[in-house]
Amino acid sequence: MHEGSRALTLAAPGAATVRDGGLERYGRWLAGALAARGLLAPDGVRFALRAVDGGDVVRTGDGVSAAWVAACGGWRLRWARRVAAERAAVRAARRVVAISPMVAAELAAWYGRDDARVVLNPVFSAEAPPAREAGGAAVLVGHGLRRKGLDHWLRALPGLPGLVTHVIGADAAPRRWRRLAVRLGVGDRVVFHGAIEAAPWIAGAALLVHPARYEPYGNVVAEAVAAGVPAVVSDACGAACLLDPTHVWARSSGPSGLAAVARGALVRPSPPRAAPPTPEAHLEALLEAVFA
């Protein structure tokens, strides 16, 4: 039995946006972890994984939609409705959990909520067999390759002679990325794998690159840190909080700046500033944020 009100009821995600990605896998893990502790109950504190779903406590599993639109653009009416719903849910919640310091700052800037508790996502498995094919190469992982900044990376690659990149993830228009790589003269150094298991490729890489336009956290970055693989991210990536500043690319410096940051990370990588939490540490921090 749960201890009085120290239990959670997980809010169901909106039907129109249900998928089976990292957020849903995290939700299944969280439900199991809470149930194992007797802390999952129908009369508990209503907890939403995404702010837009609303609850007594909301977690920004999708980041801040207003910041997302500002960085990436989008369908105006669709996003205006989502931003309005998310803003209302954030302001109405008793407590807000941010998945990175960057998102906490965005909650204050966009929604006027400056009391968010930061709880970083956990890394579930740091042990994966290295993929020999990735040895000495860079890896870029993510679905929706424009938001993940693949075009930024392809434009930086001419400044990194000989470096091969493996791209893992699904995209609505894969052919355009191949055409862009060819047009930039790096088509023979970019291998597209589609949606396959990424962990072995991350573990076997010389460098993980994540030059995203907007990334509220970036689980693949945390996985790279846990596996001891150097990572380079943009300054719009929440998981930059894990990395030494020399591994963070200022988007304003353009492709040459990205190439310079990547070159430094390959030649003389700096140790990360912090380690991502284990599942157990994450759960303790989450419960503390919700019930303290």
The DSSP-derived string for 43-104 is TSEEEESSGGG--SEEE-TT--HHHHHHHH---HHHHHHHHHHHHHHHHH-SEEEESSHHHH
Which candidate, 212, 262, 270, places its Cα nearest to that of 238? Answer: 212
Continuous segment of H or E residues that includes residue 177? helix 174-183
Q: Are the C-beta atoms of 283 and 33 separated by less than 8 Å? A: yes
Residue 44 sits in the same domain as residue 145:
no
Q: Are the C-beta atoms of 47 and 290 separated by less than 8 Å? A: yes
Residue 32 sits in the same domain as residue 89:
yes
Flag whether 273 is in a domain: no
- Domain residues for the domain of 14 are 8-122+278-291
Taking CA atoms, 4 is separated from 81, 96, 287, 289, in Å, by 37, 21, 14, 17
**Predicted pLDDT of residue 127:** 53
Could you say which residues of the chain have pLDDT below 50? Answer: 1-2, 15-18, 132
Query: Cα–Cα distance between 269 and 35 in angstroms, integer?
Result: 41
Q: Which two tokens stand for residue 217?
A: 């956290």
Q: Please, which residues have CB within 8 angstroms of residue 141's CB and are 6 or more apart in sequence?
A: 148, 167, 168, 169, 198, 201, 202, 208, 210, 220
Other beta carbons within 10 Å of 217: 25
Q: In residues, how long is the chain? A: 292
What is the pTM for the complete model shown? 0.91
Q: What is the CATH number of the domain that holds 215?
A: 3.40.50.2000
Residue 145 sits in the same domain as residue 49:
no
**Predicted pLDDT of residue 15:** 46
Flag whether 2 is in a domain: no
**Predicted pLDDT of residue 44:** 94
Q: Are the C-beta atoms of 203 and 128 separated by less than 8 Å? A: yes
Other beta carbons within 10 Å of 91: 11
Residue 38 sits in the same domain as residue 150:
no
Q: Total domain count for the chain?
A: 2
**Predicted pLDDT of residue 128:** 56
Residue 71 sits in the same domain as residue 149:
no
Residue 137 sits in the same domain as residue 110:
no
